[in-house]
Amino acid sequence: MLDITSLARLTEAADGVAPLDESTLLAVRHHPESVEVWGDNRGFGLLHGDEMSLVVLPNERGTGLGRRLLLQAPAEARLAWSHGDHPAARALAASYGWERVRELWVMRRPSSIPLTVGEVPAGITVRGFAPGDEDELLRVNAAAFASHPEQGALDRAGLQERMAEPWFSAAGLITAWDDATGRLLAFHWTKQHSPASGEVYVVGVDPAAQGRGLGRLVTVAGLAHLLSRGVDEIHLYVEGDNTPALRLYSGLGFSHAAADTHVQYRRRA
């Protein structure tokens, strides 16, 4: 049986970018029956739902292995990711009828940029996650990401899986509450990958509470938390066409380099 996680780590060490996203890795670890894998220790294809990943070890590239893995893909594979917008993936997609349909940007912010933390508006309490917050967190997450296939489907089991990960910190899951109703208004889930690296993991705002600056409020609170932990850099993932989010993050000191682009391809009908 292939050691998917180890092969992915070898590829990441060479390329500087992980070849599998978090949801795929969690499925491999917790729900192996939900993924289909083909290939060997030189490279493999993996199907999770209708999304495909192809991973070829660096010393096996240029041998046609990626093409052979693509041609072995099940018919159910409709989407595929190229993490880091790899030129070989771009050429392979163009040759076999896969079209570029989505860009996910990585934006980065060095800790050397000053961060201004404003006052919390009256009637709102900002604090870290506490047991018992789960239902409200899932409610706001589902509402905020109703049209987002990866994040919007998060359920209690998926939440518990993520909270069991070694990076989870209750203090790093920032929540903003309406004092009058006791309802969650917004949250910012941060990640600390290492002593030097942090991430804006998920920012969600209840659609009923939009327009009140709550996204910025919890984002800044989460950044302040990560900076207090001594990280050198904070990064985030954002849709390349999400203009309001790009404006918010740029205003907070984040920037994007062309190499920090993940591309989703769709098989043409």
Q: Is residue 19 part of a domain?
A: yes
Q: Are residues 118 and 101 in the same domain?
A: no
CA–CA dist 128, 130 (Å, integer): 7
Give the domain CATH number at 118: 3.40.630.30
Residue 105 in this model has a pLDDT that exceeds 90: yes
134: its two tokens: 């789960």
- Answer yes or no: is 268 within a domain: no
Residue 10 is part of which domain span?
4-105
Domain count, the chain: 2
Are residues 59 and 133 both part of a single domain?
Answer: no
Q: How confident is the model at residue 269 (pLDDT cuts 50, 70, 90)?
A: confident
d(CA 141, CA 221): 18
- Here the tokens at position 54 are 């192809």
Question: Does a structural domain hold residue 243?
Answer: yes
pLDDT at residue number 2: 87
**CA dist., res. 22 & res. 8, Å (int):** 12
The angle formed by the CA atoms of residues 180, 181 and 186, to the nearest 5 degrees, is: 100
Whether residue 45 is found in the same domain as residue 170:
no
pLDDT at 97: 95
Whether 57 and 147 map to the same domain: the answer is: no
Give the Cα separation of 251 and 242 in Å (integer): 14
Same domain (yes/no): 9, 78: yes
pLDDT of residue 237: 95
Which DSSP helix (H) or strand (E) runs through 96? Answer: none
In terms of domains, do 92 and 157 share one?
no
- Supply the pLDDT for residue 8: 94
Decide which of 93 and 1 is more confident: 93
CB 264 within 8 Å of CB 98: no
In a domain, 154, yes or no: yes
- Residues 93 and 190 occupy one common structural domain: no
Same domain as 76, residue 26: yes
Same domain? 66 vs 155? no
How much is the pLDDT for 32?
Answer: 94
The rounded distance, in Å, linking the Cα atoms of 236 and 99 is 25
Whether residue 264 lies inside any domain: the answer is: no
Q: What is the pLDDT of residues 42-89, one digit of tens each?
A: 999 999 999 999 999 999 999 999 999 999 999 999 999 999 888 989
Q: Work out the average pLDDT over 98-119.
A: 96
Does a structural domain hold residue 100? Answer: yes
Same domain, 177 and 219: yes
pLDDT of 147 over the 90 cut: no
Confidence at 152, pLDDT banded by 50, 70, 90: confident
| pTM, 2 dp | 0.89
Q: Which pLDDT score is estimated for 148? A: 80
Query: In a 3-state reduction of DSSP, which class is residue 240?
Result: coil
pLDDT at 150 exceeding the cut of 80:
no
The reply to whether 262 falls in a domain is no
Decide which of 50, 78, 105 is a domain's last residue. Answer: 105
Question: Do 176 and 243 reside in the same domain of the chain?
Answer: yes
- Same domain for 42 and 20: yes
